[in-house]
């Protein structure tokens, strides 16, 4: 078992280089790994936004009151409980054009600061531990903005060997639920985690950990990852823009990990019948081609669109029973049959990849609850489990040169995570 570790200063030279070369424009503020803080993108707030000290402190002459939003509350009812007058509430609602204050959920905390005369001078809504919505009086008008508290980013690593499921193996390696799920999401187009992984398969991960005032508050993004399964190695590298915002994940050759189609339309169910040119039909009692894949599961299991597309048919169709046909551009069609009921879709409308379009059932020619799924290219049936999917989109040209260099450093960093190299002790 290999617990996640913050990379030691002597062991992070390779990983440091990958972030230093990520973008030439980010050369300022040297990015260090492990126990050295990474620079953060500038706060997207005006220069006059309150500092952390201003947000968290209240002068002695002022008073503050905190209230919590309840079910059925609107801004007026919440702020009235805090002692805010109706005129101020109206002025706030007029100033809140982006609905930063007025759109909230039950349980959200509000803090109102009053001056020594009892007039509200600041109203704050806590979004989470690092983000606040702050309303302040400026030149007689309320100004409302989002304020982010400074968060330090460290880089952690973990390696592991599959002995059962990705989830259990990831937990033994010390990974959080968030990182394990993000890892599965990265590879959902290429790896069938429920059926493809085998004991002995391995994984490596470099990922962010977020600290506030020296306290770990949670994991961030995956920086780089590698999974070896079925004799093949799958790698993923994060690509960001100049503001450190995520563009996507790509392999070492710059190919987009995201594909135009997901491999499976349902989660965590078994395959009961595969694509074949000859199969004994359980109802017709004769040999017939099976031009799709059957997924067995409980009635009511959600079925998701494997790609963005248009609903060209929704209804009852012979042996298919309740079925949905989706058209994806000019070449591709997917079919989802034997549904118990439909999702919130309409014929002629459009759906997004991952959207629930129906639920597993046993309508039509079916001996039990399952989904019959077909994938067609130019009208011809192909095996959904083996067909090579097109990428969702190529890497933007402006980032290709930088990414090539970045990927080389990230790949070197992943190689240093091999268990037999003893990264921390033997890096040099």
pLDDT band at 139 (very low <50, low <70, confident <90, very high): confident
Domains and CATH numbers, the chain: 52-148 (3.10.450.350), 152-259+395-426 (3.10.450.350), 270-382 (2.70.70.10)
pLDDT, one tens digit per residue, over 398-418 is 999 989 999 999 999 999 987
Which pLDDT belongs to residue 22?
A: 42
Instruction: Note whether 102 and 75 are within 8 A (CB).
Output: yes
Which pLDDT belongs to residue 164?
A: 86
Which pLDDT belongs to residue 389?
A: 85
Least Cα distance to 339 among 313, 378, 376, 310 occurs for: 313
pLDDT, mean of residues 316-341: 95
One-character DSSP codes across 203-217: EEEEEEEEEETTEEE
pLDDT at 349 over 60: yes
pLDDT band at 331 (very low <50, low <70, confident <90, very high): very high
Within 10 Å of residue 31's Cβ, how many Cβ atoms?
A: 22
Which pLDDT belongs to residue 303?
A: 96
Least Cα distance to 137 among 149, 125, 124, 120 occurs for: 120
Which pLDDT belongs to residue 62?
A: 66
* 3-state SS, residue 367: coil
Which pLDDT belongs to residue 128?
A: 86
Instruction: Note whether 126 and 132 are within 8 A (CB).
Output: yes
User: Could you tell me how far CA 138 lies from the centroid of its own chain?
Assistant: 38
pLDDT at 39 over 90: no
- Name, in order, each residue with C-beta under 8 angstroms of 278's C-beta and a sequence gap of 6 or more: 287, 288, 289
Distance, in Å, from the CA atom of 305 to the CA atom of 264, rounded to the nearest integer, reads 9
Which pLDDT belongs to residue 229?
A: 93
Mean pLDDT of the chain: 82
Least Cα distance to 219 among 179, 190, 183 occurs for: 179
Which string of b and e fits 315-352 if b means at least 16 CB within 10 Å?
eeeeebbbbbbbbbeeebbbbbbbbbebbebeeeeebe
* 3-state SS, residue 26: helix
Quote the radius of gyration of the chain (alpha carbons, Å): 27
* 3-state SS, residue 271: strand
Instruction: Note whether 223 and 180 are within 8 A (CB).
Output: no
* 3-state SS, residue 358: strand
Which pLDDT belongs to residue 34?
A: 37
Which pLDDT belongs to residue 281?
A: 52
pLDDT, mean of residues 418-426: 49
One-character DSSP codes across 67-125: EE--TT--HHHHHHHTT--HHHHHHHHHH-TT-TTTS--TT-EEEEEE-TTS-EEEEEE
pLDDT, mean of residues 122-147: 89
pLDDT band at 425 (very low <50, low <70, confident <90, very high): very low
pLDDT at 49 over 60: no
Least Cα distance to 204 among 223, 185, 217 occurs for: 223
Distance, in Å, from the CA atom of 98 to the CA atom of 428, rounded to the nearest integer, reads 53
Distance, in Å, from the CA atom of 265 to the CA atom of 269, rounded to the nearest integer, reads 10
**How far are the Cα atoms of 69, 132, 144, 319 from residue 107, in angstroms, in the given order?**
5, 15, 21, 50
Least Cα distance to 331 among 265, 246, 260 occurs for: 260
Which pLDDT belongs to residue 390?
A: 83
- For the CA atoms of 69, 70, 72, 74, the dihedral, rounded to the nearest 10 degrees, stands at -20
pLDDT at 23 over 90: no
pLDDT at 305 over 90: yes
Least Cα distance to 157 among 357, 405, 427 occurs for: 427
Is 97 or 342 the better-scoring residue by pLDDT?
A: 342
pLDDT, mean of residues 253-278: 82
pTM of the model: 0.62
pLDDT band at 268 (very low <50, low <70, confident <90, very high): low
Q: What are all long-range contacts of 34-37, with beta carbons under 8 Å and residues at least 24 apart?
A: 34/6, 34/7, 34/8, 34/9, 34/154, 34/155, 35/6, 35/9, 35/154, 36/9, 36/12, 37/152, 37/153, 37/154
Is 47 or 302 the better-scoring residue by pLDDT?
A: 302
Is 335 or 26 the better-scoring residue by pLDDT?
A: 335
pLDDT, one tens digit per residue, over 99-129 is 998 889 999 999 999 988 888 999 999 988 8
pLDDT, one tens digit per residue, over 363-379 is 998 889 999 999 999 99
pLDDT cut 90: percent of the chain above it: 55
Report the range of poorest mean pLDDT among 1-5, 26-30, 307-311: 26-30
Q: Most confidently modeled of 43-52, 224-233, 264-273?
A: 224-233
């Amino acid at each position: 078992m290999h617990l996640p570790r913050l990379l030691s200063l002597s062991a992070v030279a390779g990983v440091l280089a990958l972030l230093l070369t990520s973008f030439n424009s980010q050369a300022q503020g040297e990015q260090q790994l492990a126990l050295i803080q990474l620079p953060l993108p500038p706060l997207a707030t005006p220069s006059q936004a309150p500092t952390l000290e201003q947000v968290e402190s209240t002068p002695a002459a002022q008073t503050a009151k905190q209230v919590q939003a309840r079910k059925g509350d609107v801004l007026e009812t919440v702020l009235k409980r805090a002692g805010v007058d109706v005129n101020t509430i109206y002025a706030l609602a007029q100033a809140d054009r982006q609905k930063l204050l007025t759109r909230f959920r039950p349980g959200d905390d509000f803090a109102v600061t009053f001056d020594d005369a009892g007039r509200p001078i600041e109203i704050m809504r806590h979004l989470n531990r690092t983000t606040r919505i702050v309303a302040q009086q400026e030149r007689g008008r309320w100004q409302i903005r989002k304020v982010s508290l400074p968060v330090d980013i460290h880089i952690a690593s973990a390696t592991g060997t599959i002995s059962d499921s990705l989830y259990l193996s990831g937990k033994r390696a010390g990974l959080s639920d968030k990182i394990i799920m993000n890892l599965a999401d990265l590879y959902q187009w290429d790896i069938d985690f429920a059926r493809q992984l085998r004991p002995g398969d391995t994984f490596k991960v470099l990922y962010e950990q977020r600290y506030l005032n020296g306290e770990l508050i949670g994991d961030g993004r995956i920086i780089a990852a590698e999974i070896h399964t079925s004799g093949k190695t799958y790698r993923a590298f994060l690509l960001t823009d100049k503001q450190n915002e995520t563009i996507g994940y790509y392999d070492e050759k710059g190919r987009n990990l995201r594909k135009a189609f997901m491999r499976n339309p349902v989660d965590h169910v078994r395959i009961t019948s595969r694509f074949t040119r000859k199969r004994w039909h359980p109802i017709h009692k004769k040999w017939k081609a099976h031009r799709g894949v059957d997924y067995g599961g409980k009635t009511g299991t959600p079925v998701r669109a494997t790609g963005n597309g248009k609903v060209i048919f929704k209804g009852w169709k012979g042996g298919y029973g309740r079925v949905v046909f989706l058209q994806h551009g000019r070449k591709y069609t997917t079919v989802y049959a034997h549904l118990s009921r439909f999702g919130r879709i309409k014929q002629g409308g459009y759906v997004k990849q991952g959207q629930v379009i129906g639920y597993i059932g046993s309508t039509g020619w079916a001996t039990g609850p399952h989904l019959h799924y077909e994938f067609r290219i130019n009208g011809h049936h192909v095996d959904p489990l083996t067909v090579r999917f097109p990428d969702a989109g190529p890497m933007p040209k402006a980032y290709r040169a930088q990414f090539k260099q970045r990927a080389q450093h990230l790949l070197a960093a992943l190689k240093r995570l091999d268990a037999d190299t003893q990264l921390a002790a033997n890096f040099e």
